[in-house]
Amino acid sequence: MLVNGLFSKESLQETSSSLNTSHFTPEARDLIDKLLDTNPTKRPSARPDGYASLKKHPFFKGID
* Best CA proximity match to 17, nearest among 39, 32, 1: 32
CA pair distance 9, 1, nearest whole angstrom: 9
Does any domain span residue 28? yes
In this prediction, residue 24 carries a pLDDT of 87
Q: Which stretch of DSSP H or E encloses residue 15?
A: helix 9-18
* Structural domain total, the chain: 1
Does any domain span residue 41? yes
CA pair distance 9, 39, nearest whole angstrom: 8
In this prediction, residue 14 carries a pLDDT of 63
Does any domain span residue 3? no
Does any domain span residue 18? no
In this prediction, residue 18 carries a pLDDT of 65
In this prediction, residue 62 carries a pLDDT of 87
Does any domain span residue 10? no
In this prediction, residue 13 carries a pLDDT of 60
Using alpha carbons, list the distances in angstroms from residue 1 to 24, 36, 38, 41: 26, 14, 13, 20
Does any domain span residue 63? yes
Q: Domain containing 56: what range?
A: 24-64
In this prediction, residue 53 carries a pLDDT of 86
Does any domain span residue 8? no
Low-confidence ranges of the chain (pLDDT < 70): 1-19
pTM equals 0.64
In this prediction, residue 38 carries a pLDDT of 81
